[in-house]
Amino acid sequence: MVYKMKLKEMTDARVEGSPTSSGRIAFTKLQGNGNDFVLIDEQDGVKVADPLKGSFAVQCCHRNFGVGGDGVLFLGASEHADLRMRLFQPDGSEAEMCGNGVRCLAKYAWDSGMVGESFEVETLAGIIPLMVRGIGGDFWARVDMGVPCFDRRGIPALGEGEFLMEPLEGFEVSAVNTGVPHAVIFVEDLLNLPLEEVAPHIRRSSLFPEGANVNFVRIGDAFQVRTFERGVEGETLSCGTGSVASAAVARRMGMVGDEVFVETRGGPLLITFDGDRAYMDGPAATVFAGELSDEFHWDISQEL
């Protein structure tokens, strides 16, 4: 009896506090090198109200109670570019930019006939130009990632000047902003690195007022990167802005040239530089499309 009463209270709370939990929402699941996203197309109208987008992402990204993903992409109209992208992460926060995410959005837009081979996407990090093409039947996008910012104020990081090879939590750490803040650390062994143990301390260091993604890089026969992402609060299979950040720091220190082939756990990315400007080439693919049912109560705050 007590259990049934409690269940009824929970159900009533959902109904009373759920202004938009009913109604089916169409979505598309995409991935770029294993960095996976749920895309909601809002060009024809808002599907999730802005104040609820964060809680929607928390529920939707959960891999047991939701669709599962490293973030939710909201595709909308833009007054300044061809399209607009907003990214909400699994912790409910909104990220400024995502390299793999913008390629996934480009894949959806290309398949839907919204764009041609060259177009621009508005993000919180600015206007991002893209070029798309097919390679061997696969979709690839070239993303203009802009000029990496090494100045501490632009990262942001405490202090003055550049943040290169400074001691932090037992590592030599460098930092750069490639749309979002990144810490970059060069190591000899990536395979046995206890990333989930050491990365959070750097990610939340007081030196980074807005936090930072943390990239561990091994330069050997290949340029390999593993990334702990802010907002996901864990390692992802690939991070586009992190790969650019890692290549940019390595180039700044004379370790690599203007073309860097990056191996992430989810697949390859090609990072190139033209002067100070960075470009990223990588794939994206559609996983499936679906519809959230009326039983998916995403706008109720829950600790999952």
228-257 per-position pLDDT tens digit: 999 999 999 999 999 999 999 999 999 999
Do 154 and 244 belong together in one domain? yes
Do 194 and 252 belong together in one domain? yes
For residue 59, say whether it is annotated as part of any ligand binding site: no
Domain CATH number, residue 9? 3.10.310.10
Q: What is the mean pLDDT of residues 107-123?
A: 97
Q: Which residue shows structure tokens 């006939």?
A: 113
158 within some domain: yes
140 within some domain: no
301 within some domain: no
Do 177 and 121 belong together in one domain? no
For residue 89, say whether it is annotated as part of any ligand binding site: yes
d(CA 294, CA 129): 37
* Residue 207: DSSP 8-state: T
For residue 230, say whether it is annotated as part of any ligand binding site: yes
Do 220 and 152 belong together in one domain? yes
Pair 253, 184: CB distance under 8 Å: no
Do 158 and 253 belong together in one domain? yes
User: Which percentage of the chain shows pLDDT scores above 90?
Assistant: 86
Do 119 and 217 belong together in one domain? no
**Active-site annotation holder among 60, 61, 104, 239:** 239
Mark out the alpha helices in 90-194 (DSSP H runs).
99-111
For residue 64, say whether it is annotated as part of any ligand binding site: no
Pair 122, 78: CB distance under 8 Å: yes
Do 96 and 162 belong together in one domain? no
∠ CA(180), CA(83), CA(231), 5° rounding? 30
Do 117 and 152 belong together in one domain? no
The answer, yes or no, to whether residue 19 has pLDDT greater than 80, is no
**The predicted structure's pLDDT at residue 106:** 98
**Known active-site residue 60:** no
265 within some domain: yes
271 within some domain: yes
Do 83 and 199 belong together in one domain? no
Do 166 and 231 belong together in one domain? yes
Cα 255 to Cα 118, 182, 214, distances in angstroms: 32, 18, 19
For residue 177, say whether it is annotated as part of any ligand binding site: no
Q: What is the mean pLDDT of residues 285-301?
A: 83
Pair 266, 225: CB distance under 8 Å: no
**Known active-site residue 149:** no
Element (H, E) at 234: strand 234-236
Pair 67, 30: CB distance under 8 Å: no
**The predicted structure's pLDDT at residue 24:** 87
Do 109 and 9 belong together in one domain? yes
303 within some domain: no
For residue 100, say whether it is annotated as part of any ligand binding site: yes
304 within some domain: no
Do 121 and 164 belong together in one domain? no
Q: How many domains does the chain have?
A: 2
For residue 159, say whether it is annotated as part of any ligand binding site: no
Residues 57-67 have pLDDT tens digits of: 999 999 999 99
What does DSSP say about strands 181-186 and 171-177: parallel, antiparallel, or unpaired?
Answer: antiparallel
**Active-site annotation holder among 60, 98, 104, 149:** 98
Domain limits for position 270: 148-275
302 within some domain: no
